């Protein structure tokens, strides 16, 4: 693996992407929530569970706000983890996909 500077630089880039998405699109937009989830995943990998859990929780609460409680529940019932939720957003998942 790379040195600590690589990890620190990577975290800084993820934070910049998160800040940019949040400020330009809004905190509860799917892109911002996915960026928050990405940051959480990296922090989990680095053993920073408390900070990662907080970010992951924020991402899920933001998704619940964005999609609405009923729609969010339908989406989450078919997913195993936050990573799958982020993948669904990246693959073009939209709110209309929740409607039956």
Contact between 79 and 87 under an 8 Å Cβ cutoff? The reply is no
Mean residue pLDDT of the chain comes to: 76
Range of the domain at 12: 4-98
Counted domains in the chain:
1
pTM for the whole structure: 0.64
The model's pLDDT over 34-77, given as tens digits with 9 standing for 90+, comes to: 888 889 888 988 899 899 889 888 888 888 888 777 666 655 65
- CA gap 54, 63 in Å, rounded: 14
Residue 22, number of CB atoms within 10 A of its CB = 18
């Amino acid at each position: 693996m790379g040195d600590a500077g690589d990890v620190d630089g990577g975290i800084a880039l993820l934070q910049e992407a998160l800040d940019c998405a949040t400020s330009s699109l809004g905190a509860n937009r799917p892109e911002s929530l996915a960026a928050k989830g990405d940051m959480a995943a990296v922090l989990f990998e680095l053993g920073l569970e408390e900070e990662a859990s907080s970010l992951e929780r924020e991402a899920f609460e933001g998704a619940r706000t964005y999609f609405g409680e009923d729609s969010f529940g339908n989406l989450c019932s078919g997913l195993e983890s936050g990573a799958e939720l982020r993948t669904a957003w990246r693959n073009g998942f939209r709110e209309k996909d929740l409607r039956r």
